[in-house]
Structure 1
Amino acid sequence: MLFAPGKRPTRAAILRFVSQQHAVALSHDPAEQKDGKFLVSQGGPASAAAGGLGTSEAVWLELLRDGLTYDVKGLAPGPAGKSPQIIHRFDFAEQPDEAGFEVIGITPGPHLSGGERSIPVLRGMLALARDLTQHFEDARAVFWQPSASAIGRRFFESIVTAWLEGGAFPALGLTAFEETAEGALQSVGLGFWIGQELRIEAPLSADKVAATRLGVRLVNQLVMVGGIDESERIVAPDGTRLVMQASRNSQFIRVRRE
């Protein structure tokens, strides 16, 4: 999550957030106060400063959402997370220098090792990010690493809430689209979800707006079914008959006119 400079939440702010939530609970606080000092499991003792942790120590909490645990890392006054390299932007026009944001990260907890990419775990993590975005007004955007996308806070809240409530998968944000050297339109980040990227081949991709709309529809379908192994015939919204086929190496799903 990307925050305005100096506005990154503290440990205490996250605890206040948890106290106001019905779906989120504190599952582990690595800081323990003993004899006027805080002991941090990822660093050792640090002197208490204005009721908080020393700035040289990592500050984090483990939160419970939908019965699953997630680590919220990079809290103030400890060091922030590493600034991401933004390639795609959705409802987010800001282009500050590298030091223009302060970053906190949300990751599946160690108890979820091996299942980090399962849909329930990812839905829970995105739900927690949505909850935090709604609570902290200084959150500017959410960065989604698999598509290298910065998603503006309002757009992120909207698309994730719609998905959580049974709507379409947030294809524009949790995936992105790029034009290849051959003129195809190819997804970025879909492989994180299903192990395959979508590739709409030329000349079907000539109209980039129409091809993107088609891509969004197909991404939603593919996330629901988990990818394809062979070929399928489909009909585009304009009635065009299409063939959707896995590439020989199964890394891509190619879409072309029948």
Structure 2
Amino acid sequence: MLFAPGKRPDRLAIGAFAANQHVAGISHDPFHDEKPHAEAVWPGQQLWVELLRDGLTFDLSGLAPGPASEFPVVEHRFDLPALPTAERFESMVLRVGPHLAASGNSLPVMRALFALAGDLTRHFGDLAAVCWGPARSAIGRQFFESVTSAWLDGGPFPALGLTAFSQADDGALQSVGLTFWTGQELRIEPPLCGDRVAATRLGIRLVNHLVIAGTLTNDERIIAPDGTRLVLRPSRNRALVSVWRE
């Protein structure tokens, strides 16, 4: 989560956030009287708290007045005028707690994580953007809140933000970050990418489909919105799903 310099919340601000929530709260605060405790779970991040959402715990680090969290790698932006940089923003990290690490990418855990991120986004007006590491993306606060709320309410998966798309050297359109959700990236082959906008729209639909369906192990045939018959074909090592016209 990115804040303007000097705008990161401290423990008191997080306490006020928790007091205003009906579904989230502080489950563990390892500090007393603003003095760092010896219990430092995250290297270089002395100031952190454990938050509870939907019965699951998540750690929020990078609190003021301590050092900001390490700035994330950002290559894709959504609803932002430019890629954010460490010179213009300070970072905090909300992550799955260590005891949930083994199931960190399961949908129930991820939905709770993004629900909590949405709670924080709505509460802190100085929060400028949310970054998502697997997609190397930065998402403007309003767009993030809109697409994740829709997803959590039963709508489509936020393919633009929680994944991204890049163009391969041969002109194919390939997803970035879908591996986190399904174990596979998506590749729309060049013959289907003549219209980049249409290819991206197709990619958004297919990402949503694959997140719901899970890892693809065999060929699957679908019909695109324009009536085109397509084949989704996993690679031999199952790391990639290629999309071809049938």
TM-score category of the 2 structures, normalised to the smaller one:
over 0.9
Moved more, 191-200 or 86-95: 86-95
Moved more, 115-124 or 166-175: 115-124
The answer to whether the 8 A contact 1:83-1:99 is kept is: no
Q: How does 1:11-160 map to 2 (within 5 A)?
A: 11-33=11-33, 38=35, 40-42=37-39, 58-95=46-83, 97-160=85-148
Question: Partners of 1:199 and 1:39 in 2: how far apart?
Answer: 47
* Structure 1 unpaired stretches of 5+: 44-55
SS at match of 1:79: coil
* Structure 2 unpaired stretches of 5+: none
Task: Tell me the residue number matched to 2:186.
Answer: 198
Aligned residues with identical type, % of pairs: 57
Count of matched residue positions in the alignment of Structure 1 and Structure 2: 243
**Quick one: which of 140, 163, 173 aligns to 1:185?**
173
1:226 has 2:214 as partner:
yes
Task: Tell me the residue number matched to 1:49.
Answer: none
CA-CA distance at 1:235 after TM superposition? 0.3
Q: In structure 1, what residue type is equivalent to 2:35?
A: F
CA-CA distance at 1:58 after TM superposition? 1.5
Structure (1 or 2) with the larger CA radius of gyration: 1
SS at match of 1:256: strand
The answer to whether the 8 A contact 1:40-1:57 is kept is: no
Give the TM-score taking structure 2 as reference length.
0.95
Cα distance change on mapping 1:113 and 1:57 into 2, 3 Å: closer
**Alpha carbon RMSD of aligned pairs, Å?**
1.4
Q: What do the CA deviations read for 1:193-221 (whole angstroms, capped 9, x no partner)?
A: 10000000011111111110000001001
Task: Tell me the residue number matched to 1:48.
Answer: none
CA-CA distance at 1:110 after TM superposition? 1.8
Task: Tell me the residue number matched to 1:4.
Answer: 4
The answer to whether the 8 A contact 1:174-1:189 is kept is: yes
CA-CA distance at 1:168 after TM superposition? 0.2
Give the TM-score taking structure 1 as reference length.
0.91
Question: Partners of 1:57 and 1:234 in 2: how far apart?
Answer: 47
The answer to whether the 8 A contact 1:178-1:187 is kept is: yes
CA-CA distance at 1:85 after TM superposition? 2.2
